[in-house]
Amino acid sequence: MTHHLSGKKVAFLLTSQYEDSELTSPWDAVVEAGAEAVLLSPGGKKVEGKKGHSQDADLDVAGANADDYDALVLPGGTVNADHLRLEEDAVRFVKDFDATGRPLAVICHGPWILTDADVVRGKKMTSYKSLRTDLTNAGADWVDEEVVVDGKLITSRTPDDLPAFNREIVAALSER
Report the catalytic residues. Answer: 108
What is the distance between the alpha carbons of residues 8 and 28, in angstroms, rounded to a whole number? Answer: 14
Residue 110's nearest CA partner among 131, 93, 89 is 131
HSE value, Cβ hemisphere, 13 Å, CA-based, for 56: 1
Let me know: does 40 contact 57? Beta carbons within 8 Å.
yes
Phi, psi dihedrals of residue 157, rounded to the nearest 5°: -90, -50
- Three-point CA angle 133, 144, 103, nearest 5°: 90
Alpha-helical regions (H) of 3-161: 20-32, 78-84, 88-100, 112-116, 132-137
For the chain, count helices (H), then strands (E): 6, 11
